[in-house]
């Protein structure tokens, strides 16, 4: 059977989406007040056409029904105020690219976590090992010692995600109360699939070429980066389902900055709607990353909030379900305003 994918284009929101749906000029996108008017047709790994939804060939129409299906909430969390979920980044590492060393003391990390929740974070992503290019690897024992005390204190108050590649850390974090595993290696490390399958937690699968963040940039070579990422994630979803992890528990992340050039990053943001065809929630994690500094001419990561907000709004408009960010309060405010602009009159007030 020939593999076919449909990439939604010409996205509409709110009343405009509803009017276009009634008129037959658009197709529904995940049943959340969104629709699309154009479709890029992809067959056997290559683009074969760009057509209006109303003129879609009959053989492709079953894909419209799939894209129209609403998805369940992720980790028991539902989108709020017409905006994506906001995942606050909490690194207890000495060498993360933006905030390394700030929250090594677990009390400081707990205070910072509560501040993010107060600012509007829907969940917190706790990491004990930096995955930036050139970072020093951390053994699971040290990683567990960094993250577990913080998880134990924050888990009664919030949904906690553990950002790790290591199965032992996953198991320890889940036992301490984490409800999400966020894995840059997409559960390819030994024992990782089993660690998630043996629990009821949700998982974020990210695209990264290879398994070593230290060498990933040397692999940044793709004929079509969006299709390469989509194909990789489809394969990892299949591996998860074969291991007993239901698709409803999975969120996908295109891996901005992980084995990608500037052009790759921009293409993945622009073509984010392609990932909706995977039948999973979609995460965008671009906050303060190097490409924002390059485009915005800001070498200091902590000063990249404006550029990060630009990416957040672009991703939200393209249907992102969750955003992983450092600047929680600023992002929530921007998303609320953006959602109000896109919402029908009277909503978002």
Let me know if 281 is a catalytic residue.
no
Task: Give 313's contacts (C-beta < 8 A, 6+ positions apart).
Answer: 334, 335, 338
Compute and round to an integer the Cα radius of gyration of the chain. Answer: 20
Alpha carbon distance 64, 8 (integer Å): 10
Is 282 within 8 Å of 319 (Cβ atoms)?
yes
What are the residue ranges of helices labelled H in the chain?
14-23, 61-68, 106-119, 140-154, 167-176, 192-197, 225-242, 262-270, 290-296, 305-317, 328-342
Choose, from 288, 289, 304, 318, the residue flagged as catalytic.
Answer: 289
Is 236 within 8 Å of 196 (Cβ atoms)?
no
Q: 275: closest CA among 204, 197, 195, 325?
A: 204
Task: Give 3's contacts (C-beta < 8 A, 6+ positions apart).
Answer: 43, 44, 45
Q: List for the chain the helix, strand, coil content (%; round to 5).
A: 40, 20, 35
Q: How far apart, in Å, are the Cα atoms of 109 and each of 92, 112, 171, 281?
A: 7, 5, 21, 28
| Cα 293 versus chain centre, distance | 20
Is 184 within 8 Å of 129 (Cβ atoms)?
no
DSSP conformational letter for 83: B
Choose, from 146, 179, 271, 324, the residue flagged as catalytic.
Answer: 324
Alpha carbon distance 79, 120 (integer Å): 12
Owner of token pair 């949904």: 159
Let me know if 289 is a catalytic residue.
yes
Q: Which residues are catalytic?
A: 289, 324
């Amino acid at each position: 059977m020939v593999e076919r994918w449909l990439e939604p284009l010409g996205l509409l929101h709110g009343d405009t989406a509803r009017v276009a749906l009634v008129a037959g000029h658009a197709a529904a996108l995940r049943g959340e007040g969104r629709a699309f008017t154009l479709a890029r047709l992809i067959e056997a790994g290559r683009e074969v056409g760009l057509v209006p939804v109303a003129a879609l060939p009959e053989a492709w129409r079953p894909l419209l029904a799939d894209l129209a299906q609403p998805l369940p909430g992720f980790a028991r969390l539902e989108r709020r105020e017409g905006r994506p979920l906001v995942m606050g980044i909490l690194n207890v590492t000495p060498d993360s690219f933006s905030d390394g060393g700030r929250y090594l003391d677990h009390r400081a990390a707990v205070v910072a976590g509560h501040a993010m929740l107060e600012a509007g974070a829907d969940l917190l992503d706790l990491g004990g090992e930096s995955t930036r290019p050139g970072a020093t690897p951390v053994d699971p024992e040290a990683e567990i010692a960094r993250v577990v005390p913080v998880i134990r204190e924050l888990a009664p108050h919030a949904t906690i995600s553990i950002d790790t590649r290591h199965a032992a850390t996953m198991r320890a974090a889940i036992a301490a109360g984490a409800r999400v595993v966020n894995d840059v290696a997409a559960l390819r490390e030994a024992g990782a699939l089993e660690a998630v399958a043996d629990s009821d937690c949700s998982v974020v699968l990210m695209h990264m070429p290879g398994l070593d963040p230290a060498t990933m940039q040397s692999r940044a070579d793709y004929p079509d980066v969006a299709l390469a990422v989509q194909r990789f994630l489809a394969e990892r979803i299949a591996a998860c389902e074969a291991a007993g992890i239901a698709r409803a528990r999975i969120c996908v992340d295109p891996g901005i900055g992980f084995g990608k050039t500037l052009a790759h990053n921009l293409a993945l943001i622009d073509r984010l709607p392609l990932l909706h065809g995977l039948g999973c929630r979609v995460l965008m994690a671009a906050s303060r990353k190097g490409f924002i500094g390059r485009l915005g001419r800001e070498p200091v990561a902590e000063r990249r909030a404006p550029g990060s907000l630009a990416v957040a709004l672009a991703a939200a408009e393209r249907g992102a379900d969750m955003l992983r960010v450092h600047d929680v309060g600023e992002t929530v405010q921007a998303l609320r305003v953006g959602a109000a602009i896109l919402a029908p009159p009277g909503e978002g007030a």
